[in-house]
Structure 1
């Protein structure tokens, strides 16, 4: 059972998400919050596996809430609920440790799959939103392929990085490369240190950017 909390300031949005998630018997809704502050107060009592996090909310927005949740509970998966006009918020949410993002108007099966994907430890990147983010990043950084930090990666580290960018979990990567999960975890930690990145999602965006 995947225990989930919904965080959104609009009751109609929360109700719609609850209705969708109720269609899957492997997802359990632990509770709902209307802002980041409420979510932070709820989490120690509920300890969810996955949090669906809106970005624009009063009192405490989703970016700040994501940062604080990840600092205290790094294993909780956070999926940002977003729209196309929230690029800056998406960037900041990912930098603060969000495990991915989906569009608010996604189909019901996409939302359910997103929760299951994040729960397994895989990164969740909506293709359309990712393309927009990468285009924006490329306008700011046109020489990543010549980045000395990138060239410092070994061939094996690059193999691991590409699989992370494909959204694979440590478990999946270990099976594909015939490594232990612990070894993969160490590789990922080293890669992020070399590239000066904060989390797997940033790493995925970085690698996808240089492969464009």
Structure 2
């Protein structure tokens, strides 16, 4: 069971998200908060597994609350759930420890999938926000410093693999990639998995960082 806290200053939004999450038997909403300070206190009292965190809130915003929570409770996963899709907020959220970044127009099934993925250690960046990721790399040093330049492996990438990386960095979904490369979605998924394994990377975010550091995407 994944214990979740919803931190958002709009009560009607919290109630809507709570209703969606409670349709999943593996998710339990254990608390709600209307600002970052309340969110921090709820973490201390309820020990959640994951927080859905808004950004703009009174008293203490979600980005600062994320920094404080991550400094105290490293294992709590934080998904930013916001309307803001600009590079400033994305960079600050990731720098402060956010594990995933989702926009509020996300479909209910996709939100549930993001929660499941995040609890398993996979970072999730919604497609619309992912397109701004290359602009943020230089502003999130602690998140990307583990990705080193890798001339040897880069030289061994095929043209098709480099094209696949380029489309991923641009935020394309598997269906879009499959269409552009004339492949099936299954083949695209397998190709991405093999590529991550070859380059010793965890997810698409690290792959995007790798691409920029190694000159595959500029």
C-alpha distance after superposition, 1:81-120 (max 9, x if no partner): 1224443122101001100111101110011111111111
C-alpha distance after superposition, 1:21-69 (max 9, x if no partner): 0110100000000000001111111000000000011100000000000
Structure-1 separation of matches of 2:37 and 2:55: 13
- 8 Å contact kept, 2:66–2:96: yes
Instruction: Give yes or no for the alignment of 1:132 onto 2:132.
Output: yes
Aligned counterpart, 1:44: 44
- 8 Å contact kept, 1:165–1:208: no
Structure-2 separation of matches of 1:3 and 1:101: 19
Structure-2 separation of matches of 1:162 and 1:80: 28
CA RMSD of aligned residues (A): 3.0
Instruction: Give yes or no for the alignment of 1:166 onto 2:183.
Output: no
- 8 Å contact kept, 2:85–2:128: no
Question: Judging changes above 3 Å, is the alpha-carbon distance between structure 1 residues 161 and 52 closer, same or farther for their aligned structure 2 residues?
Answer: farther
CA apart distance, 1:207: 2.5
TM-score by length of 2: 0.67
Aligned length: 168
Aligned counterpart, 2:109: 109
Select the residue among 206, 210, 214 that pairs with 1:207.
210
C-alpha distance after superposition, 1:6-33 (max 9, x if no partner): 0000111101101110110100000000
Structure-2 separation of matches of 1:84 and 1:65: 16
Aligned counterpart, 1:123: 123
TM-score by length of 1: 0.69
Question: Judging changes above 3 Å, is the alpha-carbon distance between structure 1 residues 160 and 10 closer, same or farther for their aligned structure 2 residues?
Answer: same
- 8 Å contact kept, 1:80–1:93: yes
Aligned counterpart, 1:72: 72
Larger radius of gyration, structure 1 or 2? 2
